Structure 1
C-alpha cells in the first residue's frame, strides 16, 4: 500500500509547489516586466502622488467636476453587522444593488437622481443606473456631453471649449467592434484641472 500512497503524496506536493507557487510567481514577474502599470492596478499619479486608479470609479460631487455613474456598493452596518448600508464608491466591497426593474426602491432612487441631476431630458441611462460592480470608472460620451453646461458654468469656461475637451477624452471601441465608446471620468477631470481654470 505504501508504494501507492508515496507517489500520490509526491505528486500532490510537487504540483502544489509548481502550480501554487512557481507558476503564480512567474506570471506575476512577467506581468511586472511586460505591463507594470496594469499589474499594479493601473494607478493614476498626479503631483507625485497616487490619486486613484483608471479602473475604479470615484465620487466627484463638486459642480466643477464631471460626475461618474451612481454607485450601489455597500458596507456593513456599524450598528448591526448582519445588515449592510449604502456606501457609494466603496472599493472594498464591489457589488451591484441586485434590485430588479420592478423594484420600487430602484424606481424611486432613479426618479430622484433624474430630478437632482439637472440634466436635460432624456437623461442618459448611465446617469441614473449603477454598473454591476458599482465602481465603473467610465461614462458614456452622451452623459459626459450632458454635463458640459454645468461644468462650464461652475468653472467660468466656454461650453465649446469644455465640449472639445470631452471629445479628446472619448475612448473608441476596442479594435472598432468590442465594447462601447466611453470616457474615463478621473482622466477627464484631471484634463479639466490641467486647463488651469479651477
Structure 2
C-alpha cells in the first residue's frame, strides 16, 4: 500500500471515529436525557425520589430500614422485609445472601472466643438460611406482641434454629441410615442448649453438637415438627429479596403489623388499615405477582395523618 492510500484509509477511519463519537457519545445521551424530562417520565428518571417539605427522604423504588441505632425495630413504624444488601438496603451493595434451600446446617461459633467476649459472628458463627428464617420468625412474633407459638415454622426448633439432625450409622443402597448408632442436633451446640429439640430419633438418644466434631458423615435429616404449614408470620417477613432493595411488603405482613402501629400511635386498627389500603398496589398488569404495600410511603402517610410522639 502506497502512502496516498494509507493516508486515505486512516483519514476515513478518523472521520468514522469522530462521527460515531458525536452520535453515540453526545447526541444519543442528550436525546435520552431530553426524553427523560418529559412530563410523566422525569420523576422516574430522577430515581422516583420521595420528598417531605422539600427534603429528600428516600426513593419509592428502594427500601430502607426503620430501626434505631442498635438495629431494633422502631415500634411506631411498619417494618420492611430483611435485606442482605450491605448492612441493609445499601444500593451500592445490592445482592442476595446466595443461600439456597439446601442451606440447613449452621457453622458453629468457637466457644472459646465467645467466652472471650466476641460476638457470635466474630467467633465464626454462620447461620444457615433455615436458621435465619427460624430466628427471624420468632423475632417478628416478639416485635408484634404475639405468643411464642405464633412464630413457629416447620423445620424450626423452639429456640429459633433449624431443626436438623445428623443421623450416623450403616446405610442401605439408597443412602438412608438403616440402624442409627448416633444422632446429633447439629444446630444446637452443647454450650448454648440444655437439651436438643428432640429427645430421641428412631430409638436413639439425640445429642447436642460438640464444637470441633465433624458430623458431615451422617445423614442430614430435617425434622418438620408440629408447626402449621401456613405460619402466621408470612414469608416476606423472614426472607430477603434477590436485590436486597425491595421497597414493598406483602399485604399479609402489613396486616400483621397493624395492631402494633395502632397501639403505639393511639389510633384504631381500622384507621391504620385504611392507610395500608391507600398505599397498596395491585398485581402488575392485573395478573402478575401479588398486591404489595410500599413501606416508605405508608410510614410517611402515618406521620402526616397520625403523628407519633414515640
Fold match (TM-score > 0.5):
yes
Rounded to whole Å, the distance in 1 between the matches of 2:285 and 2:89 is 30
Is residue 33 of structure 2 the alignment partner of residue 28 of structure 1?
yes
Post-superposition Cα deviations, 1:50-102, rounded to whole Å, max 9, x if no partner, equal 1111111010120110011101012xxxxxxxxxxxx1121221111111122
Q: Which runs of 4+ in 1 moved over 4 A?
A: none
Q: CA deviation at 1:46?
A: 0.7
Secondary structure at 2:93's aligned position in 1?
Answer: coil
Rounded to whole Å, the distance in 2 between the matches of 1:33 and 1:89 is 30
Pick the structure with more helix per residue. 1
Counting only pairs closer than 5 Å after superposition, residues 28-47 of structure 1 correspond to structure 2 as: 28-34=33-39, 35-47=41-53
Rounded to whole Å, the distance in 2 between the matches of 1:110 and 1:174 is 28
| Corresponding residue number in structure 1 for 2:10 | 5
**Farther-moved stretch of structure 1 (116-125 vs 131-140):** 116-125
The answer to whether the Cα contact below 8 Å between 1:157 and 1:197 also exists between their aligned partners in 2 is: no
Q: CA deviation at 1:144?
A: 0.8
Is residue 70 of structure 2 the alignment partner of residue 70 of structure 1?
no
Rounded to whole Å, the distance in 1 between the matches of 2:101 and 2:15 is 54
| Corresponding residue number in structure 2 for 1:108 | 131
Gap runs ≥5 in structure 1: 75-86
Q: CA deviation at 1:142?
A: 1.2
The answer to whether the Cα contact below 8 Å between 2:48 and 2:60 also exists between their aligned partners in 1 is: yes
Secondary structure at 1:70's aligned position in 2?
Answer: coil
TM-score normalized by the length of structure 2: 0.57
Counting only pairs closer than 5 Å after superposition, residues 62-141 of structure 1 correspond to structure 2 as: 62-74=74-86, 87-104=87-104, 105-118=128-141, 120=150, 121-141=231-251
Q: CA deviation at 1:31?
A: 0.3
Q: CA deviation at 1:139?
A: 0.8
Q: CA deviation at 1:162?
A: 1.1
Rounded to whole Å, the distance in 1 between the matches of 2:20 and 2:140 is 55
| Corresponding residue number in structure 2 for 1:59 | 65
Gap runs ≥5 in structure 2: 1-5, 68-73, 105-127, 145-149, 151-230
Is residue 22 of structure 2 the alignment partner of residue 17 of structure 1?
yes
Post-superposition Cα deviations, 1:99-155, rounded to whole Å, max 9, x if no partner, equal 112224221111111000015433211111111110111111111111111211222
Secondary structure at 2:50's aligned position in 1?
Answer: strand
The answer to whether the Cα contact below 8 Å between 1:148 and 1:162 also exists between their aligned partners in 2 is: yes
| Corresponding residue number in structure 1 for 2:166 | none
Secondary structure at 2:38's aligned position in 1?
Answer: helix
Is residue 155 of structure 2 the alignment partner of residue 143 of structure 1?
no
**Farther-moved stretch of structure 1 (97-106 vs 23-32):** 97-106
| Corresponding residue number in structure 2 for 1:159 | 269
Q: CA deviation at 1:12?
A: 2.5
Rounded to whole Å, the distance in 2 between the matches of 1:162 and 1:191 is 10
Counting only pairs closer than 5 Å after superposition, residues 181-196 of structure 1 correspond to structure 2 as: 181-196=291-306
Rounded to whole Å, the distance in 1 between the matches of 2:140 and 2:290 is 23
